[in-house]
Amino acid sequence: MRDRDAGIGMRIYHYTVIRVRFPDGIYLQGTFSAHDTVESVFKFVESSLRHPVTFSLIIPGSTALKRDTTLLKNAGLVPSGVVSLSTSETTEFTLLSDELVCKLSEM
């Protein structure tokens, strides 16, 4: 009974908005299913990069997300989340692909 009552008032989210903050201050935003995995966020970021680079995604509290099949809702990224991209590679240009750089807009 108590478990059932604990669920009252909880919202059920079907989608989540994830913003990835790049070292140069640019944000990449994507919409995912709440049932997608952390791996899908990593793949999304990889598909947006200019060239392959080793990186990690850091959630608030300086905790690195593990690239695995953890659901986004279980990782605390629902209904939305901001993660920081961390890489040891330094560059004077953005890591984003040229196609996405052309689509940049002010927030």
pLDDT tens digits, 22-73: 888 889 999 999 999 999 999 999 999 888 889 999 998 888 999 999 999 9
The residues that bridge with 33 in the sheet, in sequence order, are 15
Q: Nearest Cα to 18, choosing from 4, 7, 28?
A: 28
Q: How far is CA 43 from the centre of its chain?
A: 10
pLDDT at 6 over 60: no
Residue scoring higher pLDDT (88 or 48) = 48
Cα 67 to Cα 52, 70, 91, distances in angstroms: 16, 8, 24
pLDDT of residue 78: 92
pLDDT of residue 52: 87
Burial of 98 (0-12, 13-18, 19+ CB in 10 A): exposed
Give 77's DSSP letter. -
> What does the mean pLDDT of the chain come to?
84
Confidence of residue 107 (pLDDT cuts 50, 70, 90): low
Are 27 and 48 spatial neighbours (Cβ–Cβ below 8 Å)? no
Q: Nearest Cα to 96, choosing from 6, 36, 26, 3?
A: 26
pLDDT at 85 over 70: yes
pLDDT of residue 61: 86
pTM: 0.81
pLDDT of residue 9: 57
- DSSP per position, 10-75: ----SEEEEEEE-TTS-EEEEEEETT-BHHHHHHHHHHHBSS----EEEETTTEEPPSSS-BTTTT
